[in-house]
Amino acid sequence: MQKRKLGKSNLEVSALGLGCMGLSFGYGPAVDKQQGIALIRAAVERGVTFFDTAEVYGPFTNEELVGEALAPFRKQVVIATKFGFKLDSNGRQAGMDSRPEHIKQVAEASLKRLKIDTIDLFYQHRVDPAVPIEDVAGAVKDLIQEGKVKHFGLSEPGAKTIRRAHAVLPVTAVQSEYSLWTRGPEAEVLPTLEELGIGFVPFSPLGKGFLTGKMNEQTSFNKSDFRNSLPRFKPEALKANQTLVELLGKVAERKKATPAQIALAWLLAQKPWIVPIPGTTKLNRLEENLEAANVELTPDDLGEITSAASKITVQGARYPEHLERTTGL
């Protein structure tokens, strides 16, 4: 697996990481623990060195799973986790909390669950409007000075927030949803990251599974799958958005690849400091995703995809309006 550096930082990771959330949370029932450990270790064996989790995935159980799975490989992997949500007594998200004292409590708890001495990359999971980003950066700076965190990241921030945070503490990576059907970061975020030398980590790079070409308007999800609540996964939107999958399928056929591989290869080709983190619970899908790093798209291929995609209007909002800025998924 090729390596990439996240921006100007010295943090080098595999060109594709593994988003671990779906093993415990979000996409239906959690996988069996041993199955989850086996999948994460299979990723390590295939060259993946970058693993993404968060305290709210589960909550807590995903960090524990990642910690146990990666314990034998600690020196060769980079583990990213996140802070920034308030959890009620049932472990449900109950708003945001990026107060400096809370950030420090979360760091201590995450270190224990992950069985590590230092968090490689600590993201603010969502921007908290009640806490100045300078205070957030200052708290992470303290943790870095104490040796408990190595790198600072932000998830789903706007360009102004990135600049303000970066002025206090260099931001190593920004994580936001980015794929051929969610292209919001292209307008302001990506140019800001390029200017400041910050890496970019697209989550849901396969459109929460849609860009694999395995869904249509008949697709139904487990009742605990959060896609049931997303406008973009309503039957009429799934039907309308098939044109995007057809485009990927056309290129995939020519390249002897799959739609998922083309979607990931397109992301990798955008910038050398972009590291997508597709998630999966299945070994064959993991192998398929990782093979995307070997798919070479020519300038003509990229031009064709970008041009055709720009003519397609994606139907359905990414999240329901009340969740757009607050969800940790």
Helix (H, G, I), strand (E, B) or coil at 279: coil
Burial status of residue 172 (CB atoms within 10 A of its CB: 0-12, 13-18, 19 or more): buried
Tokens of 316: 């359905």
**Coil, strand or helix at 218:** coil
Catalytic (active site) residue 319: no
Catalytic one among 27, 57, 123, 178? 57
Q: Is 264 within 8 Å of 16 (Cβ atoms)?
A: yes
Q: Which of 112, 143, 120, 144 is nearest to 51 (CA)?
A: 120
Distance CA 126, CA 131 (A): 11
As a whole number of Å, the CA-based R_g of the chain is 19
Strand partners, 13: 4
Residue in 153, 139, 148, 142 with CA at minimum distance from that of residue 101:
139
What distance in Å separates the CA atoms of residue 168 and residue 294, rounded to the nearest whole number?
38
Tokens representing residue 88 in the block = 């009620």
Q: What share of the chain is helix, strand, coil (3-state, %, to 5)?
A: 45, 15, 35
> In the structure encoding, which two tokens stand for residue 230, read together?
């997303």
Residues annotated as catalytic (active site), given as ranges: 57
